Structure 1
Amino acid sequence: MLGADAEPREMSGIPEFLLEVCVLVTAVVSLLTNSSVLLCFCQSSELRSHVPGIFILNLSFSNILLAAVNMPSTFLAVARNGKPFGDAFCQVASFAETFLTTNAMLSMAALSMDRWVAVVFPLSYSSRMRYRDALLIVAYSWLQSLGFALTQLLMDWGGYSHTYASCTLRLQDRSRRVAYATFTALFHSSSFLLCLLVLCFAYLKVLRVARSHCKRIDVITVQTLLLLVDIHPSVKERCLAQQKKRRRRATKKICIFIGSFILCFSPYVITRLVELAPSVHVPRYWGVATKCLTYAKTSSDAFVYCLLRQQYRKVLVSIVCRLLRKNPYPLSAYSTSSTLDTTDDSCTLRVT
């Protein structure tokens, strides 16, 4: 399985066609959405003034390059049932995949830590998370990503894998299986596992603080309503229902952040670790499917972290209106808060 450039077809017909469509659609959506994020930053000085914007830019650039370099090669590999290009390209593509995937994961971890600092330490956020600190975090992310990518390149562990229909990390010389297994385990532990632990720690802390704040505001609101003896009971019920909705909204956002990370990356990472056993053979359709899931994360990141937020939506609407020669509202007319999302509710702490 490892080291083979072409093997007999293990899938054909509808499954192969669906995988081709999945990779193609994911690449197009990822390019469009992440490019939209970059366009928003270029058009809005308010977005550029936020420290988390550095992490978002780093994440978006990684996703765009992954969609432009690795996804097309996977699409061609699935369509041709073999190596899409020559050995030199596969070396570059596998290097890029290791670097960009690690960098993207670390960017997500950095964003989660930024949210944690903003919510848990709101009064000292500006002193705890400065532009210099953000740049140092990005520099560390690049160094770690570059370290694994260069090691893979120097050890000649990058190339075309028929199992995953992509140029990726793979073993060619079976005599170095122990070293390869050690590198693979260390690579996934310091990228996927580390980032998962950081995400869980940061966002669960954010959720606990958000619920605590909402509970305190709920108590004050209920006491205020009880003083208004002439208020209609239906109004009180609506207020209490809205408070419950806000608490559910915060929980839903946290589940999306952590759940999307686990759903998209864990099948691929587990498969790569399981296949280290000599007796394990991974079916090609499963390998390509797990690779498609990791690609899907690049397109969902733009929505999860940016485009579903009001600030980015307003900038996009403004850009579209200008293209259509309409008169939108000014780009500076929206909130610049980095710790609270005050749209339509006053107690849900910003976890996006």
Structure 2
Amino acid sequence: MNSSPPGVAEALVLCFQSLNESCPRVVYSLAFRAPLYLLFTLVITLIISGNLLVICIIVCSQNLQTATHNLILSLSVAGLLLGVLVLPPSMVRSLETCWYFGKAFCNFHSVADIILCNTTVWHLTFISVDRYLAVCWPLHYQSRATHRLCITMVTSSWGLAAVFAFAITLSNPQIKNKDSFHKGCVGGCFALHTKEIGIEYSIMFFFIPVSIIVSLYSKIFFIAQKHSKVIHSYTNNSKSCVPMATKDLKATKTLALVIGNFIFCWTPFFMCNIVDPIIYHSIPSLLYEVLMWVAYLNSMFNPLIYALFYSWFRETAKILVTKLLKKF
């Protein structure tokens, strides 16, 4: 974050005053940083607590041990780890404009950031596949959505993200930030989500998976329209299928909100990644920083969607909270 927001006083000093090779630092006023520290801390707290609640609910409920819920569980683990490992140091880097945690942790932080964000989109892709099987092949879903398939989807989501993250890190991408002054100095740690990755990263990480997701959900809702008409025309002998079909359609609509939330939060950032090379990397780093935090909000909104639209989430959460209060 190298340019100051309007109306914020700044002075150029060093991240480490005793080191000549230290990176320059933009010092934002306390009046600017204090409310942002409170806001970011609130966001991080909501991300951690919300995803931890989802994990506890699914783990503690025997009737939620399905392929869909296990994917949601794994997705919530990614959100929890993002809130614990990535966001607190990112908050300090964003507001202090320096990295004070050492080069080794910088490398770990960058890899963890990519893995945890990248695995989110792959989880949502496999959730789309799961919903496609549930809605478009309802009679075969139980036999196809096996425990082995669920494990394969979860491990593939994490494996693809890990391979991609290490491939980016080992390739040592060149920094193309036009307004960057943290180049080979002490106290700098670039997020590998930013401009140095460019169009290739945006296409592989975002646009290809999102295209798959949108394609699958387009087919899902087209077939869902047919199913809704068939459901209403069932005879009395087939009414036992109606609750299951209705349940799958409702779950699909709710998970569509989760996917829509991801697209809403991440699209501005990756559109900038696409446009920036075209306009000779003239987009300010501050805008990238803001859009990156908007993207992080995706992990905060998911638990809220579950709470608003899933009765199983609200009911189990109420039971867990009641038991917890009784212990105290």
**Normalising to structure 2: TM-score of the pair?**
0.74
Structure 1: distance between partners of 2:29 and 2:216: 43
Structure 1: distance between partners of 2:82 and 2:255: 26
User: Is the alpha carbon distance of 1:303 and 1:115 closer, same or farther for their aligned partners in structure 2, counting shifts above 3 Å?
Assistant: farther
134, 138, 147: which one aligns with 1:122 = 138
1:190: which partner in 2? 204
Structure 1: distance between partners of 2:193 and 2:299: 22
Higher relative contact order (CA 8 A, sep 6+): 1
1:1-50 residue CA offsets vs partner (Å, 9 max, x unmatched): 99x954546x76776556444432221111011000111122111112x1
Q: Percentage identity across aligned positions?
A: 24
User: Is the alpha carbon distance of 1:206 and 1:303 closer, same or farther for their aligned partners in structure 2, counting shifts above 3 Å?
Assistant: farther
Shift of 1:141: 2.0
The answer to whether the 8 A contact 1:94-1:169 is kept is: yes
SS where residue 191 of structure 2 aligns? strand
User: 1:69-148 residue pairs with structure 2 within 5 A?
Assistant: 69-148=85-164
2:59 matches 1:36:
no
Letter in 1 for 2:212: V
1:63: which partner in 2? 79
Structure 1: distance between partners of 2:274 and 2:36: 23
2:19: which partner in 1? none
Shift of 1:58: 1.7
Shift of 1:266: 1.0
1:269: which partner in 2? 270
Structure 2: distance between partners of 1:170 and 1:119: 35
1:249-286 residue CA offsets vs partner (Å, 9 max, x unmatched): 89975763443222111111122333345832332431
Structure 2: distance between partners of 1:291 and 1:80: 16
Structure 2: distance between partners of 1:125 and 1:72: 41
60, 64, 67: which one aligns with 1:47 = 64
Shift of 1:89: 1.2
Structure 2: distance between partners of 1:282 and 1:14: 26
Give the count of matched residue pairs.
287
1:64-110 residue CA offsets vs partner (Å, 9 max, x unmatched): 11111211112112332322422211111000011111111100111
Letter in 1 for 2:263: I
User: Is the alpha carbon distance of 1:12 and 1:252 closer, same or farther for their aligned partners in structure 2, counting shifts above 3 Å?
Assistant: farther
- Structure 1 gap segments, 5+ residues each: 172-176, 222-248, 327-352
- Structure 2 gap segments, 5+ residues each: 3-21, 181-187, 236-249
Structure 1: distance between partners of 2:132 and 2:272: 31
The answer to whether the 8 A contact 1:158-1:168 is kept is: no
The answer to whether the 8 A contact 1:158-1:169 is kept is: no
User: 1:144-183 residue pairs with structure 2 within 5 A?
Assistant: 144-157=160-173, 167-169=190-192
2:215: which partner in 1? 201
Structure 2: distance between partners of 1:309 and 1:58: 17
2:323 matches 1:322:
yes
SS where residue 325 of structure 1 aligns? helix
Shift of 1:325: 3.2
User: 1:160-309 residue pairs with structure 2 within 5 A?
Assistant: 167-169=190-192, 184-216=198-230, 253=254, 256-276=257-277, 279-305=280-306, 308-309=309-310
**Which has the larger displacement, 262-271 or 114-123?**
262-271
SS where residue 168 of structure 1 aligns? coil
28, 43, 61: which one aligns with 1:26 = 43
1:340: which partner in 2? none
Shift of 1:219: 7.0
Structure 2: distance between partners of 1:123 and 1:60: 29
Structure 1: distance between partners of 2:278 and 2:36: 26
User: Is the alpha carbon distance of 1:46 and 1:255 closer, same or farther for their aligned partners in structure 2, counting shifts above 3 Å?
Assistant: closer
Structure 2: distance between partners of 1:186 and 1:193: 10
Letter in 2 for 1:169: L
Shift of 1:186: 3.2
